[in-house]
Structure 1
Amino acid sequence: MTRPLHRRLLTLALASALSLPALAQTAFAPFTVSDIRIDGLQRIGAGTVFTYLPVERGDTLDAGKAAEAMRALYKTGFFQDVRLDRQDGILVITVVERPAINKLTLSGNKDLKTEDLTKGLKDIGLAEGETYNPLNLDRVTQELTRQYNNRGKYSVQITPSVERLDRNRVNLTITVKEGKAAKIRHLNLIGNEKYAEEDITKGWESHTSNWLSWYKRDDQYSREKLSGDIEKLNSWYLDRGFVDFSLDSTQVSISGDRKDMFITAGMTEGEVYNFADVTVSGDTVLPKSEIETIVGFIRPGNVFSRGLLELATNAITARLSNIGYAFARVNPIPSIDRDKRTVGVDFQVQPGPRVNVRRIVFKGNTRTADPVLRREMRQFEGSWYSQAAIDRGKVRLDRLGYFETVEVESEPVAGADDQVDVVYTVKETTSGSISAGVGYSQLSGLNLSLQLSENNFLGTGNRVSTAVTRSDYQKRYDFSFVNPYFTDGGLSLGYNVWWREFDYSSFNVAQYSTNSGAFQVFMGIPLSESDSISVMLGADTNEILAYEGSTPTPLVDYIKAVGQRTFHTWKAQVGWGRDTRNNYFTPVVGSTQNISAEIALPGSTVEYFKLSYDVSKYWPLSQALVLKTALNLGYGDSYGKTFTRNICYTAPTLVDTNNDGVADTSVPGPAGTDPCLTTSPDFKKTVTAQGLPFFENFYAGGISSNGRVRGFTDNTLGPSWSSSYGYKQPLGGSMLLAGSVEAIFPKLFDSPSARVSAFLDFGNVYDGYDNFSANELRASAGIALLWRSPMGPLSISYALPLRQKDGDQVERLQFNFGGQL
């Protein structure tokens, strides 16, 4: 609820409290009150009544005193009727209590949120457990109607209903039928001679209907939006030198059926003025020459612009606020010469007291420990106030991914004009994901899985993830732990441990299986606010289970050339990353860049390296539209020796297995090794293992791979091998190129937990850079939804391939847990 609405509801409460029924005159002669008796009380205690009553035992009660007593009791709002009587020397007060509100229900309100309305109604006494006053309900109905009218909804109906209950209670229901907002059918500017109407109104929120009105809703009339647009009109001309610009009239009319609005604004443009001398005065704190340098972009002779004045004013204020002057004020005083059509400006600086930050306070972090938030701060307690440091702390909290919203404000310390408390108010959100399932299919049998990922484990800021999966095609056990603040300086330390028995053919990859395990230790070293480097050391073992006849021949030959099916690897990885996004899950500005180099160290079964580069950038085009561009590159190769083997075979022989005198069973001849032991082999084949090992290849296609090209089945793009039965098995490649252009609509849903985008993806993988061809790139376009569900981030996309070739596997509707748009 907006503050004006909040204040209006409170004003209505005061007005209703003062609107008392006429006081009945009690006809009795003055007497001395020997005792006071109160009849008719049900919920309110007699002690409460005596607190407000201006009559005590021993007082002389006359007509004036009686009227005063009745006014005091009516003013409490507890009673709908009060009567005074006398029994001998006893004052008898008979009251009829107003009913209590048992339940308050709001329905049908969309523009005004229920929680905001409930809070405002509570402040004026319309809340469960409070005393019911009909006047409050009537006047709140009028105020709500006025608020909806301000939003262009003139057909709104506010219907209050009161249900009487036993024990002097009522149920209140306020039903809202908002109706549709009136549409702007005509918008006309009169007096604009220098600029076209479409140029002036381009940035307005109020427009006549157009092809984007279904999304922007800019053709719906709102008094608040129109007021903002009129201010934009004034700024438009003042930013272009029209110092004498005036808005002569604004007329708004409504059609008889209250569905159409007609807006006309008349103006006088005036003449263009230029800047004259620009000076600085007052207590500048810093050397005057430094302040003059800040405003140096305003030069005499340039066209006058109020926007430039505001920019210069904010620049000086920001500079002073970063060295402790939190309440610095800069007043640009114009000196207008209408004969010469020039405007001289004197920036008067009033720094105010230098401010010290007494305390930094966190509110709303019900789960996250204070130290986790405090270590993200760049403003420190007991030091001079710095607006830049305070704002940086907000950005760092936003980027943690623990909070839905982060707000910050500075609160002056009572009795000390040189101290403030900085208060960060956060709203916790889901910082992890959980996935559990039980299923059965004829192909894979019983499937059991449990995956837990938590980026804020027990509110400590540590990241923990674990996964257990059991089925006929995989057994997987993973555990990962990261402490992002292993040292106070921000050095992070973590490790991964995992064991996997995996059948890759179930995941759109060539038919082979692996039994693999690894242990890795890694650390991150911050270089600046946005840059860091990472280092990883680890060891893993990978047993490849390939099957001649089903596993692609190039993979089988690779294993034969190496001479063993178990690969031992000592790995090292180093990377650099930069993250300037304003938010972890739903950024609208900033970028990310990551460069990494992974190498299988000498002594590994196969010595190879992998390089990757990922970059994404968010371009805020408006509040309703953000453009995201992304590019992923990857390349790998071997640097060690090339494995070559000669595989020799003799021809198969026929054997009589059923002793009928006829040879009927083929038995393969003995296979030799390198060098071939068979003196005269019938068949000899040379196999070679070089380049990036096939089990380290990049993959493209789908919603979850690094080479994301939505609309194609996961991992299916790029080189493949087809069996004699025509079954296509993706092999991946040693080179990856993928990217996307995405238009994000952050305002389509009135929730920070969901956002929609329209995207164009492209990419593919290649068997080495020598085989790269732009003609082989695939492309798709579609729409996507990201929802931060209670179980974790959920991405859903629907895409149509724009560039595909025969044999590509298409999958239009795809979804994935985790990640971001």
Structure 2
Amino acid sequence: MNFFDIRSRIQPAALTLAASLMACMPAWAVDPFTVRDIRVEGLQRIESGTVFASLPLRVGDQYSDEKGAAAIRALFALGLFKDVRLETQGDVLVVVVEERPSVAAVEFIGLKEFDKDVLVKALKEVGLAEGRPYDKALADKAEQELKRQYISRSLYGAEVVSTATPVDRNRVNLSFTITEGGPAKIKQIQIVGNKAFSESDLRDQFNLDTGGWMSWYTKSDRYARTKLNADLEALRSYYLARGFLEFRIDSTQVAMSPDKQDMAITINVTEGERFVVSGVKLEGNYLDKDDEFKALVKIGVGKAYNAETVAETTKAFTDYFGKFGFAFAKVEAKPEIDRQNNRVQFVLQAEPSRRAYVRRILVSGNNRTRDEVIRREFRQYEAAWYDGDKIRLSRDRVDRLGFFTDVNVETIEIPGTPDQVDLMFTVAEKPTGSISLGAGFSSAEKVTLSFGIRQENAFGSGNYLAVEVNTSKYNRNLVLSTTDPYFTQNGISRTIDVFQRTTRPYLGDINSYSLVNSGLGLRFGVPVTETDTVFVGANAEQTQIKSGTGLPYPYQKYAADFGSTSSAIPLTLGWARDGRDSALVPSKGTYQRLNADLSLAGDVRYFRSNYQYQQYFPLSKKYTLAINADLGLGKGLNGQQFPLFKNFYVGGLGSVRGFEQSTLGPKESTIQNDPTSAPVYLGGSKKLVLNAEFMMPFPGAGNDKTLRLYGFTDVGRAFGENEKLSLGELRASAGIGLSWISPMGPLRFSYATPIRQQTGDKIQKLQFQIGTSF
């Protein structure tokens, strides 16, 4: 038997070179022959077809030493074998392999900072995962990747050691022993070279700081290169927005203590002179629309140079070119500097380049949300001319779905096809559901359970689904709501509400009265414009007063007028426009909402409307002023009084803080003509609520917007149908509060003191709310 053996356990590149050299040596040379058969030996988990598919030899081919060396290189290139050799038995070629062990399990010892899944995903990206071949070089690479993950969290002293333990069936258990250590914290930030602005003003632009008593929450004293780069860009923008055209950051030094626990950052800057804009000129091809482009210029002549207005102008120009299909338009703002007088003139040079149309639109990052949910928001279509306005509108519409933390659009040129582009929409999904589960115990009610679930993107379909259940003996609720935002292909939404609410005041008597309100609602949302939606629909409602102990007189009168069971079929009409920059932490923009109900059928006839207006003013990067107005008006029709159960309520969170919930308005005694009996707060057919809030960072939290303080002033009251809206009757309060975007949702705490009250008002200074502003 003739055989030759080419074997090595060194790195693949070195082994390939050795195999090539050895195959060429006369002592190992094999005379060429025709391969009659090929056998593979040593396989355990890998299919033989994988080997045959990689071999450059087939049965019937002429074997040579060069082809043998090429076969070995090809098999090692698979990364599946740690040893390969070729043998010949007559005219039979035998491929003998030794498989690399596979990774049976990956374990982390000493892990605290990260969730295991985060690190498993990071290792998978470098090629190390359960079921994949094990390689010591790959394990070393994995160690470096884990250290990189820890460095991203400022844990520079973290140590990672990998251990491979052999187990059965040629597998290994891979464990990473981690000593995390403490995070490196910033002890000093120094800016050198500043003259026009104080160092404290400049450091206010940074998100990184030297720590404070809230650093455990904000982690703002943990160094990260990405955070520093963002702060340097904020520093540059601060100068460039105030006339310093030639400002530059000369160098940045980051020094670390020997124990890798403390860091010092030194930033050297050159401010340059402050320049004033002397003029703006347009040069180049503006498609014979020079006047239209001039109207887009944001650069203020005679004012200090501001890089933001220059950037806004060039972006407005390129966007306007995109409206006409010029996806590759180039607009450059060239400064002509007069250093003697510290003035600068800008020449806006434009070249539309070529017109293009969109070949394909790609979507990535939507692991759960269906493609159609995103694509139906597009206003730019495939095989249509590139339109910058429609692309931006498509991006904004996808973002307004509220299913994603980030939405980006990238234009991709197609090689060899200068008049076509692809668009890549990349989204980052966020959790869109919430579950609440509660339990309570009292001697009166024993055990009560409450459950609620809300999913804004149910099963990735884009539909809204909410269920609320409360098993309390005295307040039983069952509410089901679902919305299909694309009930029709042109974007008309459909919402169905089913509800039953039972209220039974606790009087220590099982025979006490109860109020039952049940119904079914159907409404449609019709998009009138890209930002405005009109809602139309109808409800069928029934209100039942079950007589019993303690039934207040107002309810007795209502039952006498309309019967113990009354029905209504109100038609609904609404309009909404949301121009805020964020629904959770708004800092600018407006929000408006108008709703109206009209009941012309059933036992009760009435009209009810509600209008809300919010405006947010960004005073600076840190401070925001917000105002809110909430107006309500209801009136009975056909000579009837306005239904008691449709009244507006004012007081407490969401209206006038510092007073008990729903207590600011008309009230009557539980027992007629007995003022000593407990009052019943009836609400009113009219309401006026005004709020103002001044929001600021929480002390020690830097620029973190998830934790903020706010001062507020509230004014408002509800008024009865026969009561005039009197400013003298309005209640007012002022106070401070805390807003926290917590893992369970937005939380708001407030402490308010009434500054305008009347005898008998119920005060509640400390209050708590889960929800958004106002």
TM category (shorter chain) comes to: 0.7 to 0.9
2:7 maps to what in 1? none
- Residue 737 of structure 2 contacts residue 749 of structure 2 at CA under 8 Å; is this kept in 1? yes
Aligned with 2:143: secondary structure? helix
Residue 203 (structure 1) shift: 1.4
1:101 maps to what in 2? 103
Q: Percent identity?
A: 34
1:655 maps to what in 2? none
1:396 maps to what in 2? 397
- Residue 320 of structure 2 contacts residue 388 of structure 2 at CA under 8 Å; is this kept in 1? no
Residue 70 (structure 1) shift: 5.7
- Residue 398 of structure 1 contacts residue 582 of structure 1 at CA under 8 Å; is this kept in 2? no
Paired amino acid for 1:220: R
1:310 and 2:311 are equivalent in the alignment: yes
d(CA) in 2 for partners of 1:38, 1:482: 61
Paired amino acid for 1:136: L
1:325 and 2:276 are equivalent in the alignment: no
Q: Which is further off, 582-591 or 353-362? A: 582-591
- Residue 514 of structure 2 contacts residue 546 of structure 2 at CA under 8 Å; is this kept in 1? yes
- Residue 298 of structure 2 contacts residue 309 of structure 2 at CA under 8 Å; is this kept in 1? no
Q: Per the alignment, do residues 65 and 359 of structure 1 end up closer, same or farther by CA in structure 2, a change over 3 Å counting?
A: closer
Residue 619 (structure 1) shift: 5.6
2:258 maps to what in 1? 256
d(CA) in 1 for partners of 2:479, 2:148: 59
1:30 maps to what in 2? 29
Q: How does 1:177-196 map to 2 (within 5 A)?
A: 177-196=179-198
2:175 maps to what in 1? 173
d(CA) in 2 for partners of 1:65, 1:775: 95
Residue 731 (structure 1) shift: 3.0
Paired amino acid for 1:699: Y
d(CA) in 2 for partners of 1:86, 1:496: 79
Residue 126 (structure 1) shift: 1.8
Residue 316 (structure 1) shift: 0.9
Q: Per the alignment, do residues 416 and 700 of structure 1 end up closer, same or farther by CA in structure 2, a change over 3 Å counting?
A: same
- Residue 279 of structure 1 contacts residue 292 of structure 1 at CA under 8 Å; is this kept in 2? no
d(CA) in 2 for partners of 1:159, 1:248: 39
Residue 74 (structure 1) shift: 4.5
| TM-score, normalised by the number of residues in structure 1 | 0.73
Q: Which is further off, 737-746 or 763-772? A: 737-746
Residue 32 (structure 1) shift: 1.2
d(CA) in 2 for partners of 1:587, 1:156: 38
d(CA) in 2 for partners of 1:581, 1:196: 33
- Residue 562 of structure 2 contacts residue 603 of structure 2 at CA under 8 Å; is this kept in 1? no
2:577 maps to what in 1? 578
Q: Which is further off, 311-320 or 693-702? A: 693-702
d(CA) in 2 for partners of 1:499, 1:145: 56
Q: How does 1:772-791 map to 2 (within 5 A)?
A: 773=728, 776-777=731-732, 781-783=736-738
d(CA) in 1 for partners of 2:449, 2:614: 36
Q: Per the alignment, do residues 806 and 191 of structure 1 end up closer, same or farther by CA in structure 2, a change over 3 Å counting?
A: same
In the alignment, which of 661, 682, 685 is matched to residue 731 of structure 1?
Answer: 682
Q: Per the alignment, do residues 109 and 236 of structure 1 end up closer, same or farther by CA in structure 2, a change over 3 Å counting?
A: farther
Q: Which is further off, 190-199 or 233-242? A: 233-242
1:632 and 2:630 are equivalent in the alignment: yes
- Residue 154 of structure 2 contacts residue 184 of structure 2 at CA under 8 Å; is this kept in 1? yes
- Residue 709 of structure 2 contacts residue 739 of structure 2 at CA under 8 Å; is this kept in 1? yes
- Residue 717 of structure 2 contacts residue 730 of structure 2 at CA under 8 Å; is this kept in 1? no
1:694 and 2:644 are equivalent in the alignment: yes
Q: Which is further off, 237-246 or 111-120? A: 111-120
2:531 maps to what in 1? 530
- Cα deviation, 1:537-576, whole Å, max 9, x if unaligned, reads 56655444556x823345545666x485555656455443
d(CA) in 1 for partners of 2:743, 2:154: 32
- Residue 437 of structure 1 contacts residue 450 of structure 1 at CA under 8 Å; is this kept in 2? yes
- Residue 740 of structure 1 contacts residue 759 of structure 1 at CA under 8 Å; is this kept in 2? no
- Structure 1 gap segments, 5+ residues each: 1-14, 643-689
- Cα deviation, 1:466-496, whole Å, max 9, x if unaligned, reads 7787775577776767665566655556666
Q: Per the alignment, do residues 112 and 424 of structure 1 end up closer, same or farther by CA in structure 2, a change over 3 Å counting?
A: farther
Paired amino acid for 2:253: Q
- Structure 2 gap segments, 5+ residues each: 1-9
1:551 maps to what in 2? 551
- Cα deviation, 1:438-481, whole Å, max 9, x if unaligned, reads 99976458979887777667877666767787775577776767
- Residue 284 of structure 1 contacts residue 291 of structure 1 at CA under 8 Å; is this kept in 2? yes
Residue 134 (structure 1) shift: 0.9
d(CA) in 2 for partners of 1:97, 1:213: 51
d(CA) in 1 for partners of 2:437, 2:276: 69
Q: Which is further off, 92-101 or 314-323? A: 92-101
d(CA) in 1 for partners of 2:569, 2:69: 95
1:595 and 2:583 are equivalent in the alignment: no
2:290 maps to what in 1? 288
Paired amino acid for 2:613: V
1:416 maps to what in 2? 417
Paired amino acid for 2:577: R
- Residue 712 of structure 1 contacts residue 812 of structure 1 at CA under 8 Å; is this kept in 2? no
d(CA) in 2 for partners of 1:69, 1:522: 70
- Residue 250 of structure 2 contacts residue 268 of structure 2 at CA under 8 Å; is this kept in 1? yes
Q: Per the alignment, do residues 700 and 505 of structure 1 end up closer, same or farther by CA in structure 2, a change over 3 Å counting?
A: farther
2:762 maps to what in 1? 808
1:156 and 2:154 are equivalent in the alignment: no
Q: Per the alignment, do residues 447 and 350 of structure 1 end up closer, same or farther by CA in structure 2, a change over 3 Å counting?
A: same
In the alignment, which of 133, 137, 155 is matched to residue 135 of structure 1?
Answer: 137
Paired amino acid for 2:156: Y
RMSD over equivalenced CA pairs, Å: 5.0
Residue 99 (structure 1) shift: 1.6
Number of aligned positions between the proteins: 738
Q: Per the alignment, do residues 167 and 605 of structure 1 end up closer, same or farther by CA in structure 2, a change over 3 Å counting?
A: closer
d(CA) in 2 for partners of 1:229, 1:777: 42
- Residue 183 of structure 1 contacts residue 219 of structure 1 at CA under 8 Å; is this kept in 2? yes
d(CA) in 2 for partners of 1:238, 1:716: 53
d(CA) in 2 for partners of 1:820, 1:451: 21
Residue 317 (structure 1) shift: 0.9
- Residue 763 of structure 1 contacts residue 777 of structure 1 at CA under 8 Å; is this kept in 2? yes
1:615 and 2:613 are equivalent in the alignment: yes
- Residue 716 of structure 1 contacts residue 809 of structure 1 at CA under 8 Å; is this kept in 2? no
1:346 maps to what in 2? 347
d(CA) in 1 for partners of 2:453, 2:150: 46
Paired amino acid for 1:612: N
Aligned with 2:421: secondary structure? strand
Q: Per the alignment, do residues 391 and 744 of structure 1 end up closer, same or farther by CA in structure 2, a change over 3 Å counting?
A: farther
d(CA) in 1 for partners of 2:546, 2:56: 95
2:5 maps to what in 1? none
d(CA) in 1 for partners of 2:409, 2:423: 7
- Cα deviation, 1:624-660, whole Å, max 9, x if unaligned, reads 9877654433344557658xxxxxxxxxxxxxxxxxx
